[in-house]
Amino acid sequence: MLIADEGRSVPSASSSQAASRTPIGPPHPAHRGGELSRSPPIAAIHTVSVSIPQCGKIPLVAPRVSLITLGVSDLRRARAFYEALGWRSGAGPDDDVVFFDAGAIVLALWDRERLAGDSAVLDGGGWGGVTLAWNVASPRAVDEAIEQARAAGAAIGREPAPTFWGGYSGVFIDPEGHPWEIAHNPHWELRADGSVVLPG
């Protein structure tokens, strides 16, 4: 499971898959709504903002992380662990995905097997059960980021295409085997700095 570099905001939609509770299939956490408490987590995730100039007309994959999804085998146990650290989520007790507000990024917990399938990887033990994601402001930005990754030597696990949840995304896998999803989610708001504002 990177965020808008075009400085535009996409308004939240009340008809989102998560809001309507009429999913077509098990969506990746990057495409699900959910409320978050704004309480700061005790265990902080530190991010560094780096400014890199554009090189001609070739878009750069910005050094930014929007969402970290951890694949877990026992969601209740994993949620209890993070809550014991002081993290808070607005997810219901029976939700199949849990979002935590981690400041500049969002941390999600989701079923490891589903996460592996959605990220176009086989979980043979070498994959760490984590997929990184970058949300962008438009489908075109998804295409550009995937092409930039391809040119840099990434394998493309899933070519950019419309998704069953109403957005647009693709997956590239870096040379070390780490999958990244590049996604445009029309149900999420993006601030001018590219950070995500979750609905609710």
Domains and CATH numbers, the chain: 17-37+64-197 (3.10.180.10)
Is pLDDT above 60 for 145? yes
∠ CA 132-125-121, nearest 5°, is: 45
> In Å, how far are 92, 159, 170, 175 from 137, measured between CA atoms?
29, 18, 14, 26
Beta strands in 94-178 (DSSP E): 97-102, 105-111, 130-135, 155-162, 168-173
111 contacts: CB under 8 Å, gap ≥ 6: 26, 71, 72, 73, 75, 96
**Which of 82 and 29 is assigned the larger pLDDT?**
82
What is the phi/psi pair of residue 127, to 5°? -75, 140
3 state SS of 2: coil
* pLDDT given for residue 7 in this prediction: 41
**Which of 45 and 137 is assigned the larger pLDDT?**
137
Mean pLDDT, the chain, rounded, equals 75
* pLDDT given for residue 44 in this prediction: 33
* pLDDT given for residue 46 in this prediction: 35
Q: What is the pTM of this model?
A: 0.55
Is pLDDT above 50 for 199? yes
CA–CA gap between residue 16 and residue 154 (Å, rounded): 31
3 state SS of 113: helix
Q: What does the pLDDT look like over 35-90, one tens digit per residue?
A: 444 433 333 333 333 344 455 556 678 887 888 888 888 999 999 888 888 889 99
Q: What does the pLDDT look like over 82-131, one tens digit per residue?
A: 888 888 999 999 999 999 988 788 989 999 899 999 999 888 766 677 78
Mean pLDDT of 6-12: 38
